């Protein structure tokens, strides 16, 4: 199995620990550090894990929250099953999905 990495975005939790419960609280604090983002952009930054982010924004968030990038980004292993093809090369990863259990009780008259 190939190990695929993902991450958890912890910005909302760190804000809550510092009594910052509104995403708009970050807008002026970021502006003080030269980062100009709209309220909508800040909302998405807080509520969704970013796919891309400038280093300036990351450093500004760390300065505002008094944390390190390791506090904001928690790496995690995402388990994916990889099947080998006939030529021995791994194919595209597929997510492991649980199967629903079928419970059969004796004496129901069904084979």
Full DSSP string of 17-51: HTT---GGGHHHHHHHTT----HHHHHHHHHS--S
Lowest mean pLDDT among 4-8, 39-43, 61-65, 107-111: 107-111
Output the pLDDT for position 99: 77
Lowest mean pLDDT among 2-6, 18-22, 72-76: 2-6
- CATH number for domain 3-75, candidates 1.10.260, 3.40.50, 1.20.120, 3.30.870: 1.10.260
Output the pLDDT for position 3: 75
Output the pLDDT for position 109: 57
Output the pLDDT for position 108: 60
- Per-residue pLDDT at 30 exceeds 70: yes
26/19 Cα distance (integer angstroms): 12
Confidence of residue 96 (pLDDT cuts 50, 70, 90): low
75/5 Cα distance (integer angstroms): 7
């Amino acid at each position: 199995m190939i190990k695929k990495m993902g991450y958890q975005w912890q910005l909302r939790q760190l804000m809550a620990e510092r009594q910052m419960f509104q995403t708009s609280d970050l807008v002026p604090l970021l502006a003080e550090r030269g980062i100009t983002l709209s309220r909508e952009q800040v909302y998405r930054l807080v509520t969704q894990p970013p796919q891309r982010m400038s280093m300036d924004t990351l450093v500004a968030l760390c300065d505002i929250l008094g944390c390190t990038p390791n506090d904001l980004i928690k790496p995690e292993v995402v388990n994916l099953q990889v099947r080998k093809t006939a030529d021995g090369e791994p194919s595209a990863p597929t997510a492991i999905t649980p199967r629903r259990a079928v419970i059969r009780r004796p004496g129901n008259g069904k084979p």
